[in-house]
């Protein structure tokens, strides 16, 4: 039964596995397929998905900063309008001096996402055109979406703070230590236990 | 004949009365609070019964509304707009974002205290303030105008150096026309 439901997803995976060298591939759940590829395989996989498999819609492109591994993960999300399947193509590049191929000749709108990632993460795209300055204005710090950018220190240095927030404490640990007996009666009523 | 203090007082009363009943609000919104302005202006809350109505350009407007969070990029435009407005001009800050940063207090691109950059006459609290609160803010502003206490435009002229220093702290590449006091 379940094979029947995931028929289209399995078909796509089989095609991609046969054709390309995938690092990892799986069906996340119905209508969601994920493949992980090397950076140099990105263009062939995307082109194949667009031209031969019907993934004509470029839904989104985002970047994740895996600072512990020293890598950026870039995710391309494609959409099949007829089969209603999302295809996630993921690739990893080194944080320092890493670069990805430019894909705006496949989908023109990718240019916008690439420029945003270039500005917010400092990731280089080979042959990407367009002005360096995109959303930020006169920014001369390290790219703000990188996890080694200390937002709080930056904010404390640049902006003013109105008095009245000095006593704000981190209460997350205290909340975790709470037991059920300490819960007020009205909260117990809605508790899942 | 008209220069003595007593007659100036009477002129001020009449002037302030006229000013407070014809507040032209610049049609400009920053952040999410701009969505509270259409219901305030239209038939349900009908702000025009207080003499509040929209103005198309900064030079026609009396009131500048900072409706919500103010990004550093927008701050540049807001300063430009504020300096274009004719005296007397009033500023209203909407919601917790304009007061102390609100939920964006630790964001790298939103300012936290609006009154450090431009003088604010009235703050409205809430996130976002409902149209009733907006009208309450306008009524408060009218009261201040009648008493002659809404003097933000005057403070801006007197403390221009201080405001400029704060503005330039954020806008590093300053390419703006001079402000004629």
Mean local confidence (pLDDT), A132-143: 87
The answer on pLDDT for A56 being more than 80 is yes
* Structural domains of chain A sorted by starting position, each given as residue range(s) with its CATH number in brackets: 2-167 (3.30.460.80)
Q: What percent of chain B has pLDDT over 90?
A: 61
The partner residue sitting opposite B116, judged by closest CB among A138, A140, A160, is A160
B166 interaction partners in chain A (CB closer than 8 Å): 160
Q: What percent of chain A has pLDDT over 70?
A: 89
B105–A137 C-beta distance less than 8 A:
no
Mean local confidence (pLDDT), A40-68: 92
Instruction: Please state, in angstroms and rounded to a whole number, the distance separating the CA atoms of residues B53 and B43.
Output: 13
pLDDT interval class at A164 (50, 70, 90): confident
DSSP string of B1-37, one letter each residue: -TTSHHHHHHHHHHHHHHHHT-EEEE----SGGGGGH
B169–A154 C-beta distance less than 8 A:
no
The answer on pLDDT for A154 being more than 60 is yes
For the stretch B154-162, contacts whose Cβ atoms lie closer than 8 Å and that sit 24 or more positions apart, written own/partner, are: B155/B119, B156/B82, B156/B118, B156/B119, B157/B181
* pLDDT tens-place string over residues B130-176: 999 999 999 999 999 999 888 999 999 999 999 999 999 998 888 88
Give pLDDT, residue B83: 93
Question: How many Cβ contacts (< 8 angstroms) between chains A and B?
Answer: 48
A144 interaction partners in chain B (CB closer than 8 Å): 108-109
A162–B76 C-beta distance less than 8 A:
no
The answer on pLDDT for A80 being more than 90 is yes
Give pLDDT, residue B17: 94
Fold classified for B18-170:
Rossmann fold (3.40.50)
Give pLDDT, residue A3: 56
B109–A144 C-beta distance less than 8 A:
yes
**In this structure, what is the dihedral angle of CA atoms B165, B170, B174, B178, given to the nearest 10 degrees?**
-40
The answer on pLDDT for A2 being more than 60 is no
A137–B76 C-beta distance less than 8 A:
yes
A136–B107 C-beta distance less than 8 A:
no
Query: For chain B, which residues lie within 8 Å of any Cβ of chain A, measuring from their own Cβ?
Result: 72-73, 76, 99-101, 105-109, 111-113, 116, 166, 169-173
A152 interaction partners in chain B (CB closer than 8 Å): 106
Structure tokens at A91: 């690739």
| Domains of chain B by residue range | 18-170
CA distances from A92 to A73, B49, B177 (A): 4, 61, 46
A165 interaction partners in chain B (CB closer than 8 Å): 100, 105
Do B16 and B45 contact (CB within 8 A), yes or no?
Answer: no
Instruction: Please state, in angstroms and rounded to a whole number, the distance separating the CA atoms of residues A170 and A175.
Output: 10
State how far residue B45 is from chain A, nearest Cα, in angstroms. 33
User: For residues A80 and A186, which has the higher predicted lDDT (pLDDT)?
Assistant: A80
CB of A170 less than 8 A from some CB of B: no
């Amino acid at each position: 039964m379940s094979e029947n439901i995931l028929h289209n997803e399995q078909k796509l995976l089989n095609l991609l596995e046969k054709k390309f060298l995938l690092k990892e591939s799986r069906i996340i759940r119905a209508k969601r397929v994920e493949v992980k590829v090397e950076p140099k395989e990105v263009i062939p996989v995307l082109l194949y998905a667009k031209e031969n498999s019907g993934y004509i819609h470029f839904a989104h492109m985002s970047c994740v900063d895996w600072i512990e591994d020293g890598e950026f993960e870039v995710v391309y999300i494609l959409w099949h309008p007829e089969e209603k399947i999302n295809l996630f193509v993921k690739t990893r590049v080194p944080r320092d001096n890493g670069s990805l191929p430019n894909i705006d000749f496949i989908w023109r709108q990718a240019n916008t996402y690439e420029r945003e990632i270039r500005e917010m993460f400092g990731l280089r795209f080979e042959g990407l055109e367009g002005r360096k300055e995109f959303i930020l204005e006169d920014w001369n710090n390290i790219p703000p979406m990188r996890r080694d950018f200390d937002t709080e220190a930056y904010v404390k240095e640049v902006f003013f703070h109105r008095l009245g927030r000095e006593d704000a404490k981190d209460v997350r640990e205290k909340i975790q230590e709470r037991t059920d007996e300490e819960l007020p009666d009205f909260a117990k009523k809605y508790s899942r236990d | 004949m008209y220069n003595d203090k007593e007659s100036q007082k009477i002129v001020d009363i009449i002037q302030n009365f006229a000013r407070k009943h014809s507040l032209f609000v610049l049609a400009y919104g920053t952040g999410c609070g701009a969505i509270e302005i259409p219901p305030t202006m239209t038939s349900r809350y009908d702000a025009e019964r207080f003499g509040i109505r929209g103005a198309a350009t900064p030079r026609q407007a009396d009131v500048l509304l900072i409706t919500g969070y103010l990004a550093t990029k927008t701050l540049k435009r807001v300063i430009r707009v504020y300096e274009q407005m004719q005296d007397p001009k009033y500023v209203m800050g909407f919601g917790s974002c304009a007061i102390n940063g609100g939920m964006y207090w630790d964001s790298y691109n939103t300012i936290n205290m609006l009154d450090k950059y431009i003088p604010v006459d009235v703050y409205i609290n809430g996130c976002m303030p409902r149209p009733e609160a907006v009208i309450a803010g306008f009524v408060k502003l009218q009261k201040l105008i009648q008493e002659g206490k809404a003097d933000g435009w005057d403070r801006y002229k007197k403390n221009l150096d201080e405001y400029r220093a704060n503005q330039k702290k954020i806008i590093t590449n300053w390419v703006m026309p001079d402000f004629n006091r």
